[in-house]
């Protein structure tokens, strides 16, 4: 107290000045850190959804109603994708894949076939296109209803004329420079981030079907959705859709289809054999070792609904697996 | 308002920024195709972040010599508990429709859920006994012993985070490295001087 009395009053910083400066610093610290926190939050969150910019498909026969399921909005179908070559963040694929060039594109058909050949994507788009509305169930426990456009895989198989010894069909996804280039057209160079080193699965992505599964009328090669050419994030320009299996079987951006006499390796079961098998049929009774497969969240809904055997296509496909133990052949 | 009080307000404001933005985005329908999954992931990650920050207080205190940092630790830990609760509530309502038997079955059958629940179960008594009154009641030594359980909760939390990934383990590994560094520092402080003095002798 006595010290204070010795200081001349003119030397004392005016209280209001002192408080003002202090308040100014504090306000700055508050605003600055709050803004930084907000920016970090925003940065760690993917960009807002992108509009689909692919061209309309000129001619295809529309699916006939009435619909059993409500369609998942195109915004959700095209902004929530598992495409690990770009990123493992489902909401981030659309923007990373935006510049992906899928023209020119070739699909090599080889192996145990009578007529090995390299299809240009334009040849495949000439095949009569039809709309198929399918439920799509991801192994992660969510599902969508998607109006695909494409053609039965069987049509392509018939054109290739597989030998009697062909028992399986193997598929391969485009990945950077790792794919054999067709003799007729060069594949596009990887345009962007298609080199995700954190995916945790080996590339190129490969999948496979048993011959009778591949010939089943429900299995299609899809070239578009919602009447538009396939957006890059959904597997442009051509992908497999096998609606009674978990989504990862429906391989994207196919560059090669090979007929073989033995069960081909598939990416997820190669990465984690105890969790993913070759068949990977949707089955509510066989859980993923780490989570239940009994229910699913339909995108657009908050609660969960029951998952059905073979994703609700049991009537059509159960016959393919007669006598098989689906617990062992998961 | 003194500096400590101000810093506490600063922490509260910053800690509430992410959940506020999350709520705003949810209200505006900007959480993407699967909002529930996003809220689950965000609240879970926030729990881990605040748990790790609260575990960083002691090392930071010792390294910088700023003992006053200890004043903010309780608050940081309580925020971790708060986000953990938000995480559990989101799971219980949207994934389980508040079906208690379904939740118990999940805990029983799935290690990652059991780990997450245990971690939060451990944080509960720590949150309850975080008040000055409880420190007095238990006595400093016993209180500290009890609160060392936070190490177990943090390990469970990081393993829980690791177990829900399909194949991309980048962020769980980052969390694991940070946790290992925080543990490593403590072990080093505890044992290094001994080793040095033994070497001299």
pLDDT of res. A207: 98
> Residue B137: how many CB atoms within 10 A of its CB?
11
A17 & A137 share domain: no
- Same domain as A223, residue A131: yes
Q: What is the mean pLDDT of residues A170-196?
A: 59
Instruction: Enumerate the residues of chain A whose CB falls inside 8 A of the CB of residue B168.
Output: 84, 88, 198-200
| A37 interface with B at CB cutoff 8 Å | yes
- Nearest of A183, A76, A38 to residue B29 by alpha carbon: A76
Which CATH number characterizes residue A253's domain?
3.90.420.10
Task: Please check whether residue A193 touches B, CB under 8 A.
Answer: no
Residues 274-293 of A with CB under 8 A from B: 287, 290-292
Question: Which chain B residues have a beta carbon less than 8 Å from that of A37?
Answer: 14, 17-18
The residue range of the domain holding B49 is 3-200
Identify whether A311 is part of a domain: yes
> Is the domain of A21 the same as that of A94?
no
Mark whether A84 and A25 lie in a shared domain. Answer: no
- At residue A195, the pLDDT reads 67
In this structure, the answer to whether residues A84 and A187 fall within a common structural domain is yes
**Are residues A25 and A123 both part of a single domain?**
no
A200·B109 Cβ contact <8 A: no
Domain span including residue A29: 13-43
* Same domain for A313 and A234: yes
d(CA A71, CA A146): 6
pLDDT of residue B126: 97
Q: Which 8-state DSSP code applies to residue A278?
A: S
CB A68, CB B51: distance < 8 Å: no
Q: Is A200 close to B169, i.e. CB distance below 8 A? A: yes
Is the per-residue pLDDT at A185 higher than 70? no
Per the model's pLDDT, the better-predicted residue between A5 and A103 turns out to be: A103
Q: By CA distance, what is B90's nearest residue in A? A: A302
The tokens describing B2, both together, are 């003194």
Structure tokens at A206: 């490969």
Give the span between the Cα atoms of A105 and A232, in whole angstroms: 13
Number of compact structural domains in chain B: 1
Region of residue A235 (phi > 0: left; psi between -120 and 50: alpha; otherwise: beta): left
Tell me the pairing of strands A206-210 and A168-173.
antiparallel
- CA-nearest residue of chain B to A302? B94
pLDDT (0 to 100) of residue B200: 61
Domain assignment of residue A26, yes or no: yes
Pair A38, A86 in one domain: no
- CA A142 – CA A303 distance, rounded (Å): 11
First to last CA, chain A: 83
Q: How confident is the model at residue A68 (pLDDT cuts 50, 70, 90)?
A: confident
pLDDT at residue A181 greater than cutoff 90: no
Domain presence at residue A329:
no
* DSSP H or E segment with residue A130: strand A130-137
Residue A192 has pLDDT above 60, yes or no: no
- Chain A to chain B Cβ contacts (< 8 Å): 84
Instruction: Classify residue A7: in a domain, yes or no.
Output: no
pLDDT at position A189: 52
Interface test with A, best of B23, B49, B167 (most A CBs within 10 A): B167
Measured between CB atoms, does B30 come within 8 Å of chain A? yes
Q: What's the confidence (pLDDT) of residue B196?
A: 67
A267, pLDDT greater than 80 = yes
Q: What is the pLDDT of residue B115?
A: 97
Reported as a single tens digit per residue, the pLDDT across A1-56 is: 455 567 777 777 777 777 788 889 999 999 999 999 999 888 878 778 899 999 99
Helix/strand/coil (H, E, C) string of B99-164? CHHHHHHHHHHCHHHHHHHHHHHHHHHHHHCCCHHHHHHHCHHHHHHHHCHHHHHHHHHHHHHHHC
Which residues of chain B lie closer than 8 angstroms to A272, CB-CB?
167
Check residue A9 and give its pLDDT: 72
Residue A117 has pLDDT above 70, yes or no: yes
What's the pLDDT band for A235 if we cut at 50, 70, 90? very high
Cα A257 to Cα A174: distance, rounded to the nearest angstrom: 12
What pLDDT sits at residue A180? 44
Extract the tokens encoding A198: 């954190």
Query: Looking at CA atoms only, how far is residue A303 from chain B in angstroms?
Result: 5
pLDDT (tens digit, 9 = 90+) per residue, A212-225?
999 999 999 999 99
Chain B residue whose CA is closest to A19: B1
Give the count of domains, chain A: 2
Whether residues A27 and A122 share a domain: the answer is no
- Only one residue has tokens 């629940």, namely B117
Please check whether residues A93 and A17 belong to one and the same domain: no
Q: Which of B13, B35, B167 sits opposite A200 (nearest CB)?
A: B167
Of A33, A88, A198, nearest to B14 by CB-CB distance is A33
pLDDT, averaged in runs of 10, over chain B (201 residues): 92 96 92 94 96 97 94 97 98 92 92 97 97 95 96 98 94 97 95 73 55
How many Å lie between the alpha carbon of B80 and the closest alpha carbon of chain A?
16
What is the percentage of chain A residues whose pLDDT exceeds 70?
A: 92
Yes or no, beta carbons of B18 and A30 under 8 Å apart? no
Whether residue A316 sits in one domain with residue A186: yes
**pLDDT value of residue A22:** 85
Chain centre to alpha carbon of residue A163:
32
CA–CA gap between residue A228 and residue A226 (Å, rounded): 6
Those of residues 114-173 in B touching chain A at CB distance below 8 A are 163-170
State the Cα–Cα distance between residues B160 and B111, nearest whole angstrom: 8
Question: In terms of domains, do A180 and A299 share one?
Answer: yes
Q: Which residues of A fall within a CB distance of 8 Å from B35?
A: 302
């Amino acid at each position: 107290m006595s010290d204070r009395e010795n200081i001349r009053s003119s030397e004392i910083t005016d209280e209001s000045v002192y408080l003002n400066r202090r308040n100014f610093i504090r306000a700055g610290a508050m605003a600055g850190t709050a803004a930084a926190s907000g920016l970090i939050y925003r940065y760690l969150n993917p960009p807002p959804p992108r509009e689909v910019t692919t061209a309309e498909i000129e001619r295809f026969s529309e699916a006939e109603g009435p619909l059993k399921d409500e369609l998942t909005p195109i915004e959700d179908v095209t902004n929530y994708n598992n495409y690990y070559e770009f990123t493992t963040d489902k909401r981030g694929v659309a923007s990373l894949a935006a510049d992906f060039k899928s023209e020119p594109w070739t699909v090599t058909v080889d192996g145990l076939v009578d007529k090995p050949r390299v299809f240009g994507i334009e040849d495949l788009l000439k095949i009569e296109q039809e709309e198929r509305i399918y439920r799509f169930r991801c192994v992660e426990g969510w599902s969508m209803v998607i109006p695909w456009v494409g053609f039965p895989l069987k049509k392509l198989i018939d054109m290739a004329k597989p030998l009697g010894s062909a028992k399986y069909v193997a598929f391969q996804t485009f990945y950077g420079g790792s794919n054999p280039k067709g003799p007729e057209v060069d594949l596009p160079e990887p345009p962007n981030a298609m080199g995700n080193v954190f995916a945790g699965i080996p590339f190129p992505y490969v999948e496979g079907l048993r011959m009778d599964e591949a010939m089943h009328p429900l299995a299609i090669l899809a070239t578009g959705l919602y009447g538009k050419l396939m957006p890059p994030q959904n597997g442009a320009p051509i992908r497999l859709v096998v609606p009674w299996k978990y989504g990862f079987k429906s391989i994207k951006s196919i560059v090669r289809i090979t007929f073989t006499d033995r069960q081909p390796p598939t990416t997820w079961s190669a990465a984690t054999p105890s969790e993913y098998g070759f068949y990977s049929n949707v089955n509510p009774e066989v859980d993923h070792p780490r989570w239940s497969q009994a229910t699913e969240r339909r995108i657009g809904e908050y609660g969960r609904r029951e998952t059905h055997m073979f994703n609700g296509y049991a009537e059509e496909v159960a016959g393919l697996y007669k006598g098989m133990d689906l617990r062992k052949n998961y | 308002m003194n500096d400590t009080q101000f810093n506490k307000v600063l922490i509260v404001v910053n800690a509430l920024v992410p959940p506020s933005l999350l709520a705003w985005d949810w209200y505006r329908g900007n959480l993407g195709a699967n909002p529930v999954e996003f809220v689950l992931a965000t609240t879970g990650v926030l729990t881990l972040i605040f748990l790790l920050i609260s575990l960083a207080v002691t090392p930071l205190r010792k390294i910088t010599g700023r003992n006053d940092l200890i004043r903010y630790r309780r608050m940081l830990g309580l925020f971790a508990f708060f986000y953990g609760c938000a995480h559990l509530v989101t799971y219980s309502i949207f994934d389980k429709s508040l079906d208690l038997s379904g939740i118990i079955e999940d805990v029983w059958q799935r290690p990652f859920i059991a780990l997450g629940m245990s971690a939060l179960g451990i944080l509960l008594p720590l949150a309850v006994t975080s008040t000055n009154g409880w420190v007095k009641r238990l006595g400093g030594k016993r209180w500290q012993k009890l609160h060392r359980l936070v190490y177990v909760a943090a390990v469970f939390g990081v393993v829980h985070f690791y177990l829900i990934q399909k194949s991309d383990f980048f962020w769980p590994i980052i969390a694991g490295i940070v946790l290992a560094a925080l543990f490593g520092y403590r072990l080093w402080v505890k044992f290094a001087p001994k080793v040095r003095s033994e070497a001299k002798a």
